[in-house]
Amino acid sequence: MPEAASLIQTKRLDLHLIPIPELIMLHEDPKNPELLADRDFTNPHNELTHEHSGPLRWRVPQVKADPSTNVWFIRWIVLRETKEVVGSISFHAPPDEVGMIEIGFGVCEPCRNKGFGKEALLGMWTWVIDQPGVETLRYTVSATNAPSMAIINSLGFTHVGQQIDEEDGPEEIFEMSVADFRLNLENGFSPNNGA
């Protein structure tokens, strides 16, 4: 069982795990005024609402079937300086039988090209490499998504193949072992500087 971390922090970002009741409410009742009512941050870009629901349609059924999986799932990406949600990030599932774990993220349109995606990825991966059963980090992306391709290429992940995603079409598959990720952390890239 993973170590529950309701908050992962990087240099500029707070990655808040979305509690199960809030996750379900986001999916089933996104206009509910209780959403974020007790939080110290706001969602001015309407991340994870019906217009930008992202991974909710997959993650909510997974969490309803097994609430213990929520620790792997959706986090708000909050810019600490402004206390605003700038995106979301989530693993697709717990690590599989060979220890592979895949991640996805989204950053709102006006918040792109500021390094938030890369910083959030590094923060999540730095947390997950210490969790039981995790051996390989995976990232899949369309070859036409130039910003995401630039991120993954800058981090030294290995291209291991292609797949067809039901929704997104052809995707490139990149992986890195936990051992190599740890070595890279020791040698320079850091979730605290967004390198």
pTM of the model: 0.92
Q: What is the pLDDT of residue 30?
A: 86
Q: Is 154 helix (H, G, I), strand (E, B) or coil?
A: helix
**CATH number belonging to domain 7-186:** 3.40.630.30
Q: Closest Cα partner for 167 from 146, 140, 148? A: 140
Residue 164 Ramachandran class (φ > 0 left, ψ -120 to 50 alpha, else beta): beta
Judging by DSSP bridges, how do beta strands 100-107 and 84-91 pair with one another? Answer: antiparallel
Residue 41, CB half-sphere, CA atoms under 13 Å: how many?
Answer: 21
Compute φ and ψ for 79, nearest 5 degrees: -75, 115
| 49-77 confidence digits (pLDDT tens) | 766 567 898 899 999 999 999 999 999 99
**Residues 8/127, Cβ–Cβ less than 8 Å:** yes
Sorted by where each begins, the domain ranges of the chain are 7-186
Residues 143-166: what's their mean pLDDT?
92
DSSP letter at 111 equals: G
pLDDT at residue number 191: 56
pLDDT in the model for residue 165? 81
